[in-house]
Amino acid sequence: MKYLLLLISFNCFAQQEFNLSYLRVNQNLEFKEPIRFKMDAIQLGYTYWTDYNLGLKLTVARSTETPNSVILYKKYTNKINALWQAHIAYKYDFDKLSVFASTGITEYHTTWWVDGVEPAWSKGTDSHKPSYCFGAQYKIETNFKLESSYCHMYDKDKKGYGIETTDGFNIGITYIY
């Protein structure tokens, strides 16, 4: 850890990036009756890169209220009130193209509704779950890049119910500071 801090201290503000993206969050609950949500979200991101292509990526997002995409006898809807990620990243630069991979933690807070009513168990937090991402950036101007990435955010075996998974795809524009 002290060597990582030493490397970062010699490269103070090597490169900073600010990102605005459209994020499609896919939440799948493989229960007796499968529940699937495809939520549209806006994501804001900040990345600090050192000269050694190591970085710290921080993102926040919020989704719209989204109905279940599978027909059930009850109408389920879900909304991500807040989603944040903190990741350590590594990138590899080609000419105008960069590819990156990152790992870290994800937390998101949701609200559920069943038949238009918020049940007592509605508000949930899936906290500090290990997650990983990979993606690419393409430089379109001196200070701007197009970015697209995939993030696997969450896996959980809900005892007695089934498996819940959450992942997301994003596309956006990045400003290099």
Average pLDDT over residues 43-50: 97
More confident residue, 174 or 156: 174
Whether 6 is in a domain gets the answer no
Tally of domains within the chain: 1
pLDDT band at 4 (very low <50, low <70, confident <90, very high): low
> Is the Cβ–Cβ distance between 170 and 23 less than 8 Å?
yes
* Full residue range of the structural domain in which residue 90 is found: 18-95+103-176
SS3 172: strand
Residue 32 in 3-state DSSP? coil
The contacts of residue 90 (CB under 8 Å, 6+ apart) are 53, 54, 55, 100, 101, 102
- Residue 53 is given by DSSP the state S
Look at residue 167 and tell me if it is in a domain: yes
pLDDT at residue 3 greater than cutoff 60: no
Residue 13 lies in a domain: no
Asked whether residue 58 is assigned to any structural domain, the reply reads: yes
pLDDT at 174: 97
Residue 13 has pLDDT above 60, yes or no: no
175 confidence band (pLDDT: 50, 70, 90): very high
| Structural domain contains residue 12 | no
The mean pLDDT value for 161-176 works out to: 90
Residue 60 makes CB contacts below 8 A (sequence gap 6+) with 43, 44, 45, 82, 83, 84
Q: Give the CATH number for residue 143.
A: 2.40.160.20
Backbone phi, then psi, for 104, in 5-degree steps?
Answer: 175, -140
Read off the pLDDT of residues 54-66 as tens digits, 9 standing for 90 and up: 999 999 999 988 8
Going by pLDDT thresholds of 50, 70 and 90, the confidence category of residue 116 is confident
Name 53's bridge partners: none
- Show the tokens assigned to 128: 């500090």
> Is 148:140 a contact under the CB 8 Å cutoff?
no
Predicted confidence (pLDDT) per residue in 69-104, tens digit: 666 667 778 888 899 999 999 999 999 999 999 999
In whole angstroms, what separates CA 104 from the centre of its chain? Answer: 11
The pLDDT score that the predictor gives to residue 16 is: 96
Instruction: Determine, yes or no, domain membership for 3.
Output: no
Is residue 56 one of the residues assigned to a domain? yes
112 belongs to a structural domain: yes
- The structure tokens listed for 32 are 């007796």
